[in-house]
């Protein structure tokens, strides 16, 4: 190797380290306020949850007919968003799209955070969280809940590995170069986590082959995860849930939600860490196009999901369709707002290049994420309002569902927890893979960087 | 305030129900009261009346048991065998009450014909010894078709005939001279014992000239050993015979709970489902374990 | 508030009623000497009812064994039985004795219905009638399919039960049931203070527990002793027939008359609720033809408190 090349490699690596590792050592006031407010929300939510624990789920707006509410809707939303890890890393990555490199770790972090809090949402919804171990002791293999619990955990494990494996070379770099910039415990942690990475070709070989296997494995597991989640609804006999396309409907919906979440995260991380050189307008443009693509697929499933029963108008389906489609229906306004701002507008605007700039993309992403949450409410709640038999001899509150303040607080707390996990992850680890960027820039990475 | 209004509404509704049941009047005109029994007072008619009574009246009024006064309380309807009630009501009154109903009792003028309602009156009257039927042209028929059995009934015997798929209930009796005799025209009841009560195959059926009643078993279900428990008795309950008869073959009830079902307990998971679950879960875990092992290999390569 | 049944009396009664039956078994076990060593500490005596109706003083510790024993017995069910109910819609006049008897027996709040008398009509203009709606105890039950912990299950006598000692409160079964037959204890159940010491009887689902599901049990505790369910025997109008399909016999709750199930069903053109869903209910309806009572609009409706709020007032 020529001396020239070596020097230029060193220079490139120095800049990369400077750009990507420096934010890890800085704790500006804004970050502290951010973490502080997230912790406050979580604390309030925990307080709310203890009230719920004490007095029972009667503290929520759920009752015997609408017995699932925003907790389950949020659970579905979290699982949906978590699927982005698979979309970005596996589907896009495996087909050889190189532009994904600076985004894939952000996507993995989002995936891990949301998959982890999905479980919390389920626990919040349980009437007897103290008996959660019954799932282990008395688990019933025929129940979709058992499948869901299993597959959520598998997905979390894979997500951890998919986040951790590509981190190894970066951890090696941190270990080599950051000893004096970091507190002792933190450096020790990186030292241990780096598993003695020195960048030998042998290590890279193992890394690449393992990554490849995991990227393939995550596809069926992620599909199973969200398909099984959709089956929580689709395996019942209720109008609005009793659908054969619920699996793909959920999976494609998840891609949209995930794309939105990545757009938002990209924008704010880039801004906070000044990563304009790494996450460029080009990446927003590409992500925008990807969003339009998955959005169109989701739109296609939406049309199927609503047009087919709407054409036939079977009695129970007709009630459901009316509730959603008519502005006089109980969920008509929410439905059209959600579909417009969460799907139709993002697709339409995303077709035009000026809207695929960072700021508009962030706004669109935000609309998609909020819309995605409301869409889950629309999937879960209105169906339960229509029982097959008349709802009689119960108080007025049983006929409708309005989440209580406590319920919303707890839900926000869980969202805050997901955001907190992401915020901590992006502070603890480089948000962009150093060695992959270096490799793209032609640096010889088969050595101890 | 809110609670008070609820209590008030509860009280008023309760009152409404009570008044509905009790305070309303029968409103019977003198003309209706004077109506004469519209059917002949014969045993056949009374039996026919009994059949209708069982279908339309029994579920509220229960059996007509002879008693001096009504011995039942709401929500059960009164015992129509109460002699004070029988004495206080004319045939016309009873007929009108059946026709028009009151409060909790529905009017039967729509669902039962005049004739049927009179037959019920005739049946009710058969439990009232002081009753004198009106004199009509049909009086000649009031005599029973068969002469009254004069001997003594000793026992009842019930058997099952495989070929006829029928039960034969036979009266064992002696005549006035003490010789075995065939008791004709005796009313008999026959029940099959069931978990919550005795199921009548017939009630008040008269024995034929052989002193027997034959009833087809139909597709009567036996227990899993092929047995059924029966009760045969005379309708006056003087003699009762209870026994267990074998009528079928022992059969194993096909209980769906024993199969593997999606709705079954976890121990009865369908095999394809269990295997799919295990293969998917442990297959994934295996790959994850392999990946973790690769981490170890990377770690082992740290020294050159 | 106004008419609170004294919880002490209720729980005591239930306690005796439920535990009495299995005292015999417990004594037999301790007689084997298996437990004689471990029960010595807990010498507290409590009244129990023996099988022949005598009240004796027994070790409280034996009752703990009985809970386990009763759980096993309750999950097993009665041998050779297949319980069915037939509801004659022509007879129902909305007296609601079934509902109150049921709510009393199972310690339910006014808005919790194991059985609910609905006012319904088959199609527009075909006339309203009263339709009592218990759990259908389906032979293809959508609810037991989805339970993640075997808390709800179907017994060999066809009854679908719920074990509120195991239920995790996920409410998947409520979502799955197309008949809306299940209720949830959103807050502390009625009489929860009085029931605090009562040992759980799965066949009665008393004491009810906060955060668990409850449902119609066909009064499995009554069936065990050969009695008709609470609702069936409370009906003043002869609406209910109840019996064993294996015996092909059903008994009327009011007149106590027993008839052939097959004839009753075929003679009256019986039907089941929402048969198109393939749930195979064990509850049959006889059509509301020749109704005995007129339908009155806006009759009795919910009389309970507005909100099942306030765990204990």
- Give chain B's contact residues with C (Cβ, < 8 Å): 2-3, 6-7, 9-10, 13, 54, 58-60, 62, 74-76, 104, 106, 110-111, 192, 194-200, 218-221, 223-224, 253, 255-258, 262-266
Task: State residue B221's pLDDT score.
Answer: 87
Query: In chain C, which residue's Cα lies nearest the Cα of A392?
Result: C118
C130 and C198 part of one domain: yes
Q: Are residues C119 and C255 in the same domain?
A: yes
Is C144 inside a domain boundary? yes
pLDDT above 90 for C271: yes
pLDDT bucket at C20, cuts 50 / 70 / 90 = very low
Q: Which pLDDT value is given to residue C57? A: 58
Q: Does domain B26-141 have CATH number 1.10.3720.10?
A: no
Count of residues in chain C: 313
> What was the pLDDT predicted at C104?
93
Cβ A99 vs Cβ A245: under 8 Å: no
**How much is the mean pLDDT over chain B?**
82
Cβ pair B167, B180 in contact under 8 A: no
**Is the confidence at residue C45, as pLDDT, over 60?**
no
pLDDT in tens, A221-263: 999 999 999 999 999 999 999 999 999 999 999 999 999 999 9
Q: Do A196 and B270 touch (CB under 8 A)?
A: no
Q: Taking residues C24-36, report their average pLDDT.
A: 36
In a domain, C53, yes or no: yes
Contact list in C for residue B53 (CB cut-off 8 A) is none
The pLDDT of residue C307: 37
Determine which of B283, B286, B294, B296 to mutate to test the interface with A (most A C-beta atoms within 10 Å): B294
Q: What is chain C's mean pLDDT, rounded?
A: 79
> Do C58 and C89 have their domain in common?
no
Task: Please give the pLDDT value at position C46.
Answer: 54
Please tell me which of the candidates C112, C118, C146 has its beta carbon nearest to residue A235. C146
Of C145, C154, C290, the CB nearest to B111: C290
Residues within 8 A of A (CB atoms), C 235-294 only: 273-274, 277, 279
Question: B54–C2: do the CB atoms touch at under 8 Å?
Answer: no
Q: pLDDT digits over C239-248, tens only?
A: 999 999 999 9
Task: With cut-offs at 50, 70 and 90, classify the pLDDT of residue B61.
Answer: confident
For chain A, how long is the longest CA-to-CA vector? 87
Structure tokens at B166: 């029928």
Six token digits for residue A29 = 């006031």
Q: Which residue has the tokens 């129990």?
A: C48
C146-156 pLDDT tens trace: 999 999 999 99
Task: Judge contact between C163 and C204, C-beta under 8 A.
Answer: no
Give residue C3's pLDDT. Answer: 40
Tokens of A208: 């690449």
The answer to whether the Cβ–Cβ distance between B269 and A214 falls below 8 Å is: no
The whole-number pLDDT of residue C313 equals: 31
Residue A200 touches partner B, C-beta closer than 8 Å: yes
CA distance C167 to chain A (A): 7
Where residue B74 falls among pLDDT bands split at 50, 70, 90? low
Q: Chain C partners of A52 at a C-beta cutoff of 8 Å?
A: none
Overall fold of domain B152-246 = Immunoglobulin-like (2.60.40)
User: Helix A246-273 crosses helix A281-312 at what angle (to 10 degrees)?
Assistant: 160
pLDDT, residue C292, reads 76
Spans of chain A below 70 pLDDT: 1
CATH of domain A3-440: 1.20.1630.10
Give yes or no for residue C2 having a pLDDT over 90: no
Q: Which two tokens stand for residue C59?
A: 């070790």
Whether C236 maps to a domain, the answer reads: yes
* DSSP symbol at B102: B
Q: Which residue of C has its CA nearest to B5?
A: C303
Radius of gyration of chain A (CA): 23
Closest in A141, A207, A224 to B269, CB measured = A141
Residue C22 pLDDT > 60 = no
- Asked if C152 is an interface residue toward chain B (Cβ–Cβ < 8 A), one would say no
Dihedral pair phi/psi, residue A412, rounded to 5°:
-60, -35
C144 touches chain B (CB under 8 A): yes
The boundaries of the domain holding residue C24 are 7-76
pLDDT digits (tens, 9 = 90+) for A125-169: 999 999 999 999 999 999 999 999 999 999 999 999 999 999 999
- The answer to whether the beta carbons of residues A215 and A94 sit under 8 Å apart is yes
Contact by Cβ (8 Å): C313, C306: no
Contact criterion met (CB < 8 Å) for A141 and B266:
yes
Both C88 and C201 in one domain: the answer is: yes
pLDDT tens sequence across B202-231: 888 888 888 899 999 888 888 888 889 999
Q: Which residues contact C56 (CB under 8 A, 6 or more apart)?
A: C23, C47, C48, C49, C50
Residue bearing tokens 């993309």: A361
**Do both C71 and C193 map to the same domain?**
no
Question: Are residues C249 and C279 located together in one domain of the fold?
Answer: yes
Which helix (H) or strand (E) segment holds residue B188: the answer is strand B187-194
Grade residue B252 by pLDDT with cuts at 50, 70 and 90.
low
In a domain, C306, yes or no: no
Non-local CB neighbours of B197 within 8 Å, separated by 6+ positions: C251, C256, C257, C258
What is residue B258's DSSP assignment?
G
For residue B136, the model assigns a pLDDT of: 63
Q: How many domains does chain C have?
A: 2
Please report the residues numbered 281 through 300 in chain C whose beta carbons come closer than 8 angstroms to any beta carbon of chain B. 290, 292-293, 300
Task: Tell whether A221 lies on the interface with B, counting CB pairs under 8 A.
Answer: yes
Query: Do C236 and C149 sit in the same domain of this protein?
Result: yes
Evaluate whether C248 touches B220 at the Cβ level (below 8 Å).
yes
Residue C310 lies in a domain: no
Rounded to an integer, the average pLDDT of C246-263 is: 91
- C-alpha separations of B227 from B159, B214, B232, B247, C247 in Å: 13, 19, 16, 6, 11
* pLDDT score of B109: 84
Q: For residue B100, is pLDDT > 50? A: yes
Residue A376's contacts (CB-CB under 8 Å, 6 or more residues apart) are A73, A74, A76, A77, A80
pLDDT attached to residue B2: 52
C224: domain CATH number is: 3.30.70.20
Q: What is the rounded average pLDDT of the residues C180-207?
A: 90
Q: What is the mean pLDDT of residues C165-175?
A: 95
CA-to-CA distance for A357 and C143, rounded, in angstroms? 50
Residue C188 and residue C87 in one domain: yes
Nearest-by-Cβ selection for C226 from B58, B59, B196: B196
C144 and C65 fall within a common domain = no
Q: What is the ipTM of this complex?
A: 0.91
What is the predicted pLDDT for the residue at B238?
86
Domain membership flag for residue C292: no
Picking from A374, A115, A124, A84, the residue whose alpha carbon sits closest to that of residue A252 is A84
Q: Interface of chain B against chain A, CB under 8 Å?
A: 262-266, 269-270, 273-274, 277, 280-281, 284-285, 287-288, 290-292, 294-295, 297-299, 301-304
Higher model confidence: residue B162 or residue C42?
Answer: B162
In a domain, C300, yes or no: no
90-109 of C, contacting A, C-beta below 8 A: 99
Shortest CB distance from C188 goes to which of A56, A140, A144?
A56
Query: In Å, how far is B76's CA from the nearest CA of chain A?
Result: 26
Domain final residue, candidates C76, C93, C111: C76
- Nearest residue on chain A to B266, alpha-carbon basis: A140
Is residue C108 one of the residues assigned to a domain?
yes
Spans of all domains in chain B: 26-141, 152-246
Low-confidence winner among A149-163, B8-22, B65-79, C110-124 (lowest mean pLDDT): B8-22
Q: Which residue has the higher pLDDT, B254 or B166?
A: B166
pLDDT(B139) > 70: no
């Amino acid at each position: 190797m020529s001396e020239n090349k070596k020097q230029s490699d060193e220079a490139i690596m120095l800049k990369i380290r400077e750009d990507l590792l420096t934010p890890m050592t800085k704790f500006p006031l804004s970050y502290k306020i951010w973490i502080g407010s997230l912790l406050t929300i979580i604390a309030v939510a925990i307080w709310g949850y203890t009230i719920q624990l004490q007095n029972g789920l009667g503290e929520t707006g759920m009752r015997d007919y609408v017995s699932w509410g925003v907790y389950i809707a949020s659970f579905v939303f979290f699982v949906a968003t978590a699927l982005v890890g698979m979309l970005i890393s596996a589907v896009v990555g495996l087909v050889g799209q190189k532009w994904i490199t600076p985004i894939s770790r952000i996507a993995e972090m989002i995936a891990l955070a949301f998959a982890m809090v999905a479980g919390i949402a389920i626990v919040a919804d349980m009437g007897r969280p103290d008996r959660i171990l019954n799932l282990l002791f008395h688990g019933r293999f025929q129940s979709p809940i058992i499948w869901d619990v299993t597959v959520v955990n598998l997905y979390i494990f894979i997500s951890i590995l998919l986040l951790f494996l590509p981190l190894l070379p970066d951890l090696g770099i941190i270990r080599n170069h950051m000893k004096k910039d970091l507190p002792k415990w933190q450096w020790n942690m990186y030292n241990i986590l780096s598993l003695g990475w020195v960048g030998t070709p042998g290590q890279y070989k193992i890394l690449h082959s393992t990554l490849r296997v995991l990227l393939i494995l995550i596809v069926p597991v992620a599909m199973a995860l969200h398909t099984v989640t959709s089956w929580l609804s689709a395996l019942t006999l209720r109008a609005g849930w009793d659908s054969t396309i619920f699996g793909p409907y959920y999976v494609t919906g998840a891609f949209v939600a995930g794309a939105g979440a990545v757009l938002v995260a990209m924008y704010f991380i880039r801004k906070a860490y000044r990563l304009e050189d790494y996450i460029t307008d080009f990446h927003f443009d590409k992500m925008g196009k990807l969003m339009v693509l998955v959005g169109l697929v989701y739109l296609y499933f939406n049309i199927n999901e609503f047009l087919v029963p709407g054409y036939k108008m079977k009695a129970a389906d007709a009630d459901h369709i009316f509730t959603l489609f008519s502005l006089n229906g109980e969920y008509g306004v929410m439905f059209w707002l959600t579909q417009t701002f969460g799907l139709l507008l993002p697709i339409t605007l995303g077709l035009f290049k000026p809207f695929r700039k960072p700021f508009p993309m962030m706004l669109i992403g935000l609309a998609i994420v909020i819309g995605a949450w409301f869409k889950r409410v629309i999937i879960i709640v209105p169906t339960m309002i229509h029982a097959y038999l008349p709802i009689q001899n119960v108080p007025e509150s049983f006929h409708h569902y309005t989440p209580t303040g406590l319920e919303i607080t707890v839900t926000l707390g869980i969202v805050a927890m997901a955001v907190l996990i992401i915020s901590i992850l992006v502070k603890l680890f480089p948000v962009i893979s150093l060695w992959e960027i270096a490799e793209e820039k032609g640096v010889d990475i088969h050595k101890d960087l | 305030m809110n609670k008070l209004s609820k209590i008030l509404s509860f009280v008023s509704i309760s009152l409404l129900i009570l008044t509905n049941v009790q305070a309303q009047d029968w409103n019977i005109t003198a003309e209706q009261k004077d109506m004469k029994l519209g059917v002949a007072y014969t045993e056949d008619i009374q039996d026919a009346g009994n059949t209708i009574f069982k279908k339309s009246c029994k579920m509220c009024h229960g059996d007509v048991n002879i008693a001096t006064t009504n011995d039942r309380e709401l929500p059960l309807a009164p015992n129509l065998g109460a002699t004070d009630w029988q004495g206080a009501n004319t045939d016309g009154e009873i007929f009108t009450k059946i026709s028009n109903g009151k409060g909790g009792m529905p009017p039967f003028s729509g669902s039962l014909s005049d004739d049927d309602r009179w037959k019920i009156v005739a049946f009710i009257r058969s439990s009232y010894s002081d009753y004198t039927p009106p004199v009509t042209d049909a009086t000649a028929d009031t005599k029973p078709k068969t002469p009254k059995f004069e001997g003594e009934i000793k026992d009842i015997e019930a058997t099952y005939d495989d070929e006829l798929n029928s039960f034969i209930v036979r009266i064992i009796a002696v005549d006035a001279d003490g010789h075995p005799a065939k008791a004709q025209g005796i009313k008999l009841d026959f029940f099959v014992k069931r978990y919550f009560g005795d199921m009548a195959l017939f009630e008040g059926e008269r024995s034929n000239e052989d002193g027997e009643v034959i009833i087809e078993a139909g597709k009567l279900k036996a227990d899993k050993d092929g047995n059924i428990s029966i009760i045969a008795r005379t309708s006056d309950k003087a003699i009762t015979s209870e026994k267990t008869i074998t009528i079928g073959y022992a059969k194993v009830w096909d209980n769906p709970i024993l199969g593997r079902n999606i709705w079954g307990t976890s121990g009865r998971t369908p095999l394809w489902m269990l295997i799919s679950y295990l293969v998917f879960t442990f297959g994934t875990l295996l790959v994850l374990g392999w990946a973790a092992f690769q981490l170890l290999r990377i770690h082992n390569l740290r020294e050159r | 508030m106004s008419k609170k049944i004294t919880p002490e009396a209720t729980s005591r009664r239930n306690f005796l009623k439920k535990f009495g039956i299995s005292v015999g078994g417990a004594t037999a076990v301790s007689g084997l000497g298996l437990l004689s060593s471990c029960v010595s500490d807990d010498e507290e005596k409590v009244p129990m009812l023996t099988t022949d109706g005598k009240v004796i003083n027994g070790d409280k510790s034996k009752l703990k064994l009985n809970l386990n024993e009763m759980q096993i017995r309750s999950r097993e069910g009665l041998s050779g039985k297949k319980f069915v109910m037939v509801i004659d819609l022509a007879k129902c006049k909305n007296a609601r004795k079934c509902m109150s008897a049921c709510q009393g027996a199972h310690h339910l709040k006014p808005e919790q219905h194991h059985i609910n008398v609905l006012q319904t009509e088959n199609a527009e203009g075909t006339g309203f009638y009263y339709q009592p709606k218990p759990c259908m105890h389906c032979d293809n039950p959508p609810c037991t399919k989805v339970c993640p912990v075997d808390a709800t299950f179907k017994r060999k006598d066809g009854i679908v039960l719920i074990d509120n000692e195991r239920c995790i409160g996920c409410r998947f079964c409520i979502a799955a049931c197309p008949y809306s037959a299940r209720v949830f204890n959103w807050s502390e159940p009625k009489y929860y203070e009085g029931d605090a010491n009562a040992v759980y009887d799965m066949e009665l689902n008393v004491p009810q527990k906060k955060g668990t599901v409850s449902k119609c049990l066909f009064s499995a505790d009554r069936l065990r002793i050969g009695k008709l369910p609470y609702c069936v025997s409370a009906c003043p109008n002869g609406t209910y027939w109840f019996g064993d399909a294996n015996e092909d016999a059903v008994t009327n709750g009011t007149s106590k008359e027993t008839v052939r199930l097959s004839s009753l069903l075929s003679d009256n053109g019986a039907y089941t609720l929402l048969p198109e869903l393939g749930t195979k209910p064990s509850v049959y309806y006889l059509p509301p033809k020749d109704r005995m009572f007129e339908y009155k609009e806006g009759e009795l409706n919910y009389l309970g408190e507005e909100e099942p709020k306030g765990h204990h007032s």
